[in-house]
Amino acid sequence: MRKEREMPEKISPGMQQYLDIKKDYPDAFLLFRMGDFYELFYEDAVNAAQILELTLTSRNKNSENPVPMAGVPHHAISEYIEKLVDLGYKVAVADQIENPKDAVGIVKRAVTQVITPGTMVDGKNNGENNFLVAIDQAENKFALAYIDLSTGEFKVTELPDFMTVKGEIASLKAHEVVAGYPLEESQTKQLTQQLNVLISEQFERDENISNVNSFQNLSSLSNKAENRALSSLAEKTEENKAEQEPMDLSALTDLEKSLVQKLLSYIKRTQMRDLSHVQNIEHYEIKDFLQMDYATKSSLELTANKREGKKHGTLYWLLDSTKTAMGSRLLRSWIDRPLLNVNEINKRLEITQILIDNFFERADLIESLKGVYDLERLASRVSFGKAVPVDFLQLANSLSNVPIIKNILESINQPLLSSLANRMDALPELTEFINLAIDDTAARTITEGGIIKTGYNEQLDKYREALENGTSWIAKLEADEKVKTGISTLRIDFNRKDGYYFHITQSQLGSVPDHFFRKATLKNSERFGSKELSEIEEIMLEAKEKSSTLEYELFLKVRATTEQYISRLQALAKAVAEIDCLQSFATIAEKEGYIRPVLTPHDKAVNIKNGRHAVVEAVMGAQEYVPNDIEFSKDTTIQLITGPNMSGKSTYMRQFALTVIMAQIGSFVPAEVAKLPIFDAIFTRIGASDNLISGESTFMVEMSEANHAIQSATENSLIIFDELGRGTATYDGMALAQAIIEFVHDKIGAKTLFATHYHELTELETTLKHLKNVHVATLEENGNVTFLHKITEGPADKSYGIHVAKIAGLPNVLLERADIILQKLENKPVIVQSLENHDEQLSLFDFDEQSTEIIDRLKKANIDNMTARDAMNFLWDLKDLL
């Protein structure tokens, strides 16, 4: 007996199959198909039950060690996978790979796909990209590749340092990062921190996510098996090569080739299918675009606002009047990567102008674009084998709009639009094929019939005719038997167990004819069959089963045929996206009253008349916004901006940067005149941003960002520094600010906006010939100050900090005390006594005993009955006497 207890419990073949598969996927939730459910067992079941709010049960409940178990219905699997992957987990899906009817013993099962945050293609992405990013290193160089499996976009580049790698990952808003080399501990920490910040910005306010810490696995960068969102790419290159489909890698560097091969191998191992929609790899150079690091894009709020990490209130939000998902994604890409090539910029500007000038054609174009679905994602669903009937209906509907778009472009009769029209490949043969094959009322399911149109396949039509005839045969048989038997309540019914049968109540059993045979006995009735009914049933069931099987096979052929058009569909999608972006530029320019910028790559001068901050104006309204001129002669490189807080200095600087970005993506800009050079980079340091995760203070962050700008900027760059140096002691900050200004002035020569509260720095205009003082104008009347939000020449005479505090609502007694202290400081006092530990009114001055007039006035003053203004006037009188 004792020996029997020590023996391990016997494991069923099904559980042994599960354990064998799970061994290969220890770092993933394994969803194991069993009938109509996907089951999870052991630790997976316990964890998934908590995360997905599933009922936790157990297998072999009566055994000594019952196995924890939880399951989800097969038809709802996608939503559960999406939730797990959104939380940074990896999911392995094990399906039945043979028909249970054909199985000898246990049904064969195998993992058919591994889904990770970067390989998710069915999630609620709102049309945005879902990038899987891979990095690799050789000596001091880095390679970075990224792919979106939901669209097929695939690009690679080489980068000079790890800081640039982090910036690219952040800009791409990577959902998953895989490494092709063992990361150093310092790199692991840096990238983890960067991704943590990114994760917080992207997901912390998502209604569906309860805890940001759930995403920490996304940024786990070691190569251990337990990592859920990060997988190692460290495979032998030669082995990877043998697994890949042919792809043109001839234009890539050796490091880029190696990384691409590793990434393709990783995708193939996880997706386990041919991915015909993955586009040929495209090499890009960041130096070919206007460079902006992640801090710059974040501070300028190009695609995500700083408050919520959402689209609203960003340049992307403002310019996005696109009508297609492809157009919206391309617009975001354009904003992330403004152009340097003036000819390409002018091409976009010219098309925008043409579309503005042709209002009615543009209105028709917009209506046609509304009928185009996401061609890139439809193509990927076909490639993944996930396309359902409605996807093909959407595809055919989209293609039917393409000839209309093409005709509109050609009707405007402009060479630039004709070039776009020539790229509008309508694929008429595919449209005709889908319209012939797929029924207009087809549902999303592909196994229950009703997919293929009548008339498409002769055999399928015969089966359907048999089904229709069988229905009429049954109706006729029922009527005939009622007459023959005299049983008025007789009827023919059907269920899966008994098939077709005659239903006869207990009271009519005496009238049952001899050619009926009993099928089942119920409490108050019995079920009978007949030879004729069985023959009809056999014909109908055979027709039903064979028609469903044939229809499914025909649908798979439709999918396979459509797959041959994927590359053409992707090329069409690019053309549609481009025209969609350009019509969006035209629509917004007309609506907001923007003008076409003039780009002068060989002239360093800047001339913006009545420029506006595009996003602030859109939020506030044009009536409230105060426009400003921005002027740099070719010899002026630095504007030193002084003026009070809240007066508009930061808006003025951001306005300049956004105008540059808008111009270089080919958009019209908010101004009356805009003459600009081509900038190669924008560097910003705007506002406080402690990096709490890495323990860096505001001052450390601002010095790091200032260093990045100084080390990277050229004479063709734009630098924006706001209050640099304020995070340390006054004289330290002032000294650093002056040294930075002088360095930029003497060594770099970049166009620079430098806002400061250090008024002493305004003296630099006398020694630095390329520096010009400007300030924000104010209106002061009767002790009240109005900020005019207007930039004028020369330095500001005051900072008006106390007036800002007054606007903020600080107590009057505090403001009055601050004003007195300010006056003493401005008169160079030796010391101003602290308020600390003093309950009574402080003595501000040591009066001479002979100053009897002042003493007498103080004694007679009724301070309790003074208003704040009376007290101020009284103090001014005393000051005059002194």
Assigned token pair, 528: 């009978």
CA nearest neighbour of 187 among 221, 225, 227, 217: 221
Distance CA 814, CA 152 (A): 62
**Residue 637 near residue 714, CB atoms below 8 Å:** no
644 in a labelled binding site? yes
Both tokens of 60, joined, read 């072999």
Give, for 33, the enclosing helix (H) or strand (E): strand 29-34
User: Residue 148's closest CA among 570, 592, 674?
Assistant: 570
Asked if 373 and 398 count as a contact pair (C-beta separation under 8 A), the reply is: yes
Residue 647 among known ligand-binding residues: yes
> Is 403 annotated as ligand-binding?
no
Give the integer Cα–Cα distance in Å for 397 and 434: 10
Q: Taking CA 412 as the corner, what is the angle to CA 406 and CA 414, rounded to the nearest 5 degrees?
A: 100
424 annotated ligand binder: no
Identify whether the C-beta of residue 397 lies closer than 8 Å to the C-beta of residue 371. yes
Q: Is 648 annotated as a binding residue?
A: yes
Q: How many CB atoms are located within 10 Å of the residue 314 CB?
A: 21
As a whole number of angstroms, the distance between CA 525 and CA 521 comes to 7
Residue 667 counted as an annotated binding residue: no
Whole-angstrom Cα distance, residue 782 to residue 23? 81
Contact 579, 657 (CB under 8 A): no
Task: Tell me how far apart the alpha carbons of residues 162 and 220 are, in angstroms, rounded to a whole number.
Answer: 17
- Residue 269, both tokens: 């191992």
Token pair 């009070």: residue: 644
DSSP letter at 229 equals S
Closest listed residue to residue 168, CA positions, set 198, 124, 125, 205: 198
Identify the CA nearest to 751 among candidates 599, 603, 597, 598.
Answer: 603
DSSP per residue, 736-759: HHHHHHHHIIIII--EEEEE-S-G
Helix (H, G, I), strand (E, B) or coil at 647: coil
Side chain identity at 307, as an amino acid letter? R
Task: Confirm if 314 and 307 have CB atoms less than 8 A apart.
Answer: no
Contact 807, 647 (CB under 8 A): no
Selection from 106, 124, 136, 112 nearest residue 30 by Cα: 112
Backbone torsions φ then ψ of 674, nearest 5 degrees? -145, 105
Is position 646 annotated in a ligand binding site? Answer: yes
- CA distance linking residue 863 with residue 813, whole number of Å: 13
The Cα 852–Cα 212 span in angstroms is 69
Binding-site annotation, residues for ATP: 643-650
Binding-site annotation, residues: 643-650
